[in-house]
Chains A and B, each alone.
Chain A
Amino acid sequence: QKEVEQNSGPLSVPEGAIASLNCTYSDRGSQSFFWYRQYSGKSPELIMFIYSNGDKEDGRFTAQLNKASQYVSLLIRDSQPSDSATYLCAVRMDSSYKLIFGSGTRLLVRP
């Protein structure tokens, strides 16, 4: 069973802090890794994806991938109350369309 694991949270951080969201996956054949943000009652919105080991930065967001440890994370710098949402980690296997989603981590940014 291919799995993607996330801590359900809630992860509570003060406004302006760095929020760190983590995800582990079980299949070493995983090729690409995605972070989606989902506000309550809304659909998932793509934040960024990563497929090479290391860091990838986009504005306040940084994705980090460590394939040896089967670990991907999302850092949100200068967290804002509007960042409060559920963050979904998704993993795509090699030569597959299929995304395997984690259950999501709920982030709460306190003003």
Chain B
Amino acid sequence: ETGVTQTPRHLVMGMTNKKSLKCEQHLGHNAMYWYKQSAKKPLELMFVYNFKEQTENNSVPSRFSPECPNSSHLFLHLHTLQPEDSALYLCASSQGYRDSYQETQYFGPGTRLLVL
């Protein structure tokens, strides 16, 4: 266990559904991240939050909507997804000190999403 939890672990949804992914970290970190991992592709960074403020949005479609109410919790709200959005969605956290050589990200177990 890395101290980063994600729920649900598996999700099947239709293209018209609305669902949310939840991430919680128990490491006292200040930065949290959403990544997407599709088959045969490198990990793709989606969003970065540091001290609850969004610092990066990597041109992610608006059908993905992140929310970070505090430094310990991160949500990804999903609506009108497409089948090509099926992937493993990973949450990560780090201390949030960008000038530190030891700034290290720790990943949660992921949510396996299937869009039908």
A56 at the interface (CB under 8 A from B): no
Contact status A97-B90, CB under 8 Å: no
Top 7 A-B pairs, shortest CB-CB distance? A51-B101, A101-B43, A43-B107, A43-B110, A101-B42, A103-B42, A44-B107
**B109 and A42: CB pair below 8 A?**
yes
B contact residues around A41 at 8 Å (CB):
112
CA distance A90 to B105 in the complex (A): 10
Instruction: Report chain B residues within 8 Å CB of A45.
Output: 2, 107
| Contact bitstring A71-111, B, C-beta under 8 A = 1, else 0 | 00000000000000000101010011111011110000000
What are 5 A-B contacts defined by CB distance under 8 Å?
A: A4-B42, A43-B109, A46-B107, A97-B55, A99-B45
How large, as a class, is the contact surface on chain B?
20 to 34
Q: How many residues of chain A get a CB closer than 8 Å to chain B's CBs?
A: 25
B-side contacts of A103, CB under 8 Å? 40-42
Q: Which residues of the other chain, A, contact B33 by a CB distance below 8 angstroms?
A: 97
In chain A, what residue has the closest Cβ to B90? Answer: A43
Q: List chain A residues, Cβ under 8 A from B103.
A: 32, 92, 97
| Interface residues in A22-56 (C-beta closer than 8 Å to B) | 31-32, 34, 36, 41-46, 49, 51
- A97 with B42: CB separation less than 8 A: no
**CB pair A102 B42 closer than 8 Å:** yes
Q: Is the CB of A97 within 8 A of B56?
A: yes
Q: Which residues of A contact B40 (CB under 8 A)?
A: 103
